[in-house]
Chain A
Amino acid sequence: MIAVLDYGIGNLRSAEKALQFVGADARLVTDANTARRADGVVLPGVGAFGACALALGAHGLDEVVVEAVSAGKPTLAVCVGMQLLFDSSEESPGVAGLGILPGRVRRLPPGVRRPQMQWNLVTPVGSAPGQLVEKEEWFYFVHGYVAQPDEASDVAATCDYGGTMAAAVSRGTLFATQFHPEKSGNAGLALLERFARTCAS
């Protein structure tokens, strides 16, 4: 079973439905102990960094993510879920992220439409662990802030939007995308299917 962490924010149904569509046994999970028993964990996120971080903690699901990553359980974080993996965000000063990956989340640079709300071409960084972006492909983005990893080795894929940015990061069995695979048509469904396979193996 893949636990899609449900901490009361936004539209989580699409992440659950997209995983189910590719044949995964995905369920929205609010209870930390149920999530601990899952074969894989999905950390979605929409809205503000601070609101998401606080809600995740209030549900006791922050620890579930930290434990899953350190135990080597397949974990996929999406959009603000990816941003939560880092130390902090300019969007919500004073609110701590999970600190799993070193780095900060910053506002997108001026000179481009903010938020980025479009499909963009994503280029994989070949050597990234657990690479779920197999080739250059288009994915759908909606975000006004973007993670800046301290460690270049954490970057799994990039795209160009007012400069090169981290479109995906990874470390061990943790993979995270700034884009929304559940909203990226066939390319996104294929990525989710690859993730579901790693959970099943």
Chain B
Amino acid sequence: MQAVRIIPCLDIDGGRVVKGVNYLDLRDAGDPVELAKAYSRAGADELVILDITATPDGRDTTLAVVARAAEEVFIPLTVGGGIRNRADARRLLRAGADKISVNSAAVERPALLAELAEEFGTQCVVLAVDVKRSVLDGDAREHGCPRFEVVTHGGRRRTGVDALEWTSGASQRGAGELLVTSMDRDGTESGYDLELLAAIASATELPLVASGGVGNLEHLAAGFLEGGADGLLAASIFHFGRHSIADARSYLASRGVPVRP
């Protein structure tokens, strides 16, 4: 059967969780490994660690975090942030990551996806796509620019690439999963961009993880029911203790979303 995945996301900088965490009884709430263990115990289906560090030293710290997590966390772990080539991916996979998420580097050099797939298999290649709506929105097409545009560098750089074209070609290029973040919604807690998700979901057969904007449990449900996503990623609603993984699971089940009990 199909079962939608609930995926907490940890942003880390220099080996520490950046967004505050004030739930559960953690010895060190800033330690990503402690938090990963807690989410795993609480029944998360997968975990995503995004390294938002800008320095090479920080990257080494991330490797150490992944290696420590692999000792004690036995659910799938996706790691993203700053992966530019096979050597970067190899180091993380050897440390214990199960999937590698690439974003800006794949936009700059799409062949990276095929290179990673060839060495590690498509099942560990996640194409992360950050998307912004055109300021023209519904009229964008008439003006020859994409309505949903791929952006990079944390949303600061527009690329002119049409997000629907980029994601529908991702499977052929070597990706095994899509992680789509609406940069318009990220941090707003106003819900996923459901129109964006639905457009992407209908044009790919790859698993689709929704990201950006979750502020309550109904937003998670809508990600599946209206957006067609089969992975539901969220950060703050879990980190700030507003909802537990179990809350999310029972709410989703009550809305008819297929989840692992």
Answer whether residue A23 sits at the interface, using C-beta atoms and an 8 A cutoff.
Answer: no
Which of A47, A113, A182, A188 contacts B230 (CB under 8 A)? A113
Interface residues of B (CB under 8 A from A): 1-5, 40, 43, 45, 70-72, 74-76, 93-98, 119-124, 176-177, 205-208, 230-231, 260-261
Q: Is the CB of B75 within 8 A of A185?
A: yes
Stretch at the interface among A59-67, A69-77, A95-103, A115-123: A115-123
**A13 engages B207 (CB within 8 Å):** no
In the complex, 20 of the A-B residue pairs with CB atoms within 8 angstroms, ordered by the A residue number, are: A10-B93, A10-B120, A14-B70, A17-B74, A17-B96, A47-B119, A112-B2, A113-B206, A115-B123, A115-B176, A115-B206, A117-B207, A118-B3, A118-B45, A119-B260, A142-B76, A142-B98, A160-B1, A161-B2, A184-B75
Which 7 pairs, one residue from A and one from B, show the smallest C-beta to C-beta distance?
Answer: A47-B121, A117-B207, A142-B123, A119-B260, A11-B93, A113-B207, A13-B96
B245 to chain A, nearest CB (A): 12
A183 on interface, CB distance cutoff 8 Å: yes
- Contacting residues, chain B, for A11 (C-beta < 8 A): 93-94, 96-98, 124
Chain A residues lying within 8 Å of B72, measured Cβ to Cβ, are 21
Q: Check A13/B121 contact, CB under 8 A, given A183-B76, A185-B40.
A: no
Docked Cα-Cα span, A194 to B156, in Å, equals 51
Closest A residue to B46 using CB positions: A140
**Please, which residue of chain A has its CB at the minimum distance from the CB of B207?**
A117
Q: How far is the CB of A58 from chain B (nearest CB, A)?
A: 15
**Are B3 and A13 touching (Cβ within 8 A)?**
no
Is B74 touching A118 in the complex (CB atoms < 8 A)? no
Q: A11-B93, A117-B231 are in contact. List 13 more A-B contacts (CB 8 A).
A: A10-B120, A13-B94, A14-B70, A47-B119, A48-B121, A113-B208, A117-B177, A118-B45, A119-B260, A142-B176, A144-B123, A185-B74, A188-B74
Measured in the bound complex, the distance between the Cα atoms of B75 and A188 in whole Å is 9
A18 at the interface (CB under 8 A from B): yes
- Nearest Cβ distance between residue A20 and chain B, in whole angstroms? 9
Q: In the complex, what residues of B have CB within 8 A of residue A183's CB?
A: 74-76, 98
**Measured CA separation A121–B75 after assembly (Å):** 16
Tell me the bound Cα distance from A184 to B74 in angstroms: 6
Contacting residues, chain B, for A184 (C-beta < 8 A): 74-75
Which of A118, A140, A142 is the most central at the interface, judged by chain B CB atoms within 10 Å of its CB? Answer: A118
A46 neighbours in B (Cβ, 8 Å): 120-121, 123-124
Contacts of B120 in A (CB 8 A): 9-10, 46-47
Residue of A nearest to B67 (CB): A13
The answer, among B95, B123, B205, for a CB contact under 8 Å with A13, is: B95
Q: In this complex, what residue of B is CB-closest to A113?
A: B207
Whole-angstrom distance between the alpha carbons of A188 and B74 in the complex? Answer: 8
The contact of A10 among B71, B121, B231, by CB within 8 Å, is B121
Interface mask (A41-58 → B, CB under 8 Å = 1, otherwise 0)? 000001110010000000
Distance (whole angstroms) from the CB of A102 to the closest CB of chain B: 25
Contacts A46-B121, A117-B123, A119-B5 hold; do A14 and B207 have CB atoms under 8 A apart? Answer: no
A184 to B208, CA, bound (A): 20
| Chain A CB within 10 A, most for which of B1, B43, B74, B98 | B74
Question: Does A189 touch B at the CB level, under 8 Å?
Answer: yes
Q: Does A114 contact B (CB under 8 A)?
A: yes
Return the chain A residue nearest B177 by Cβ.
A117
Check if B124 sits within 8 Å of A10, measured CB to CB.
yes
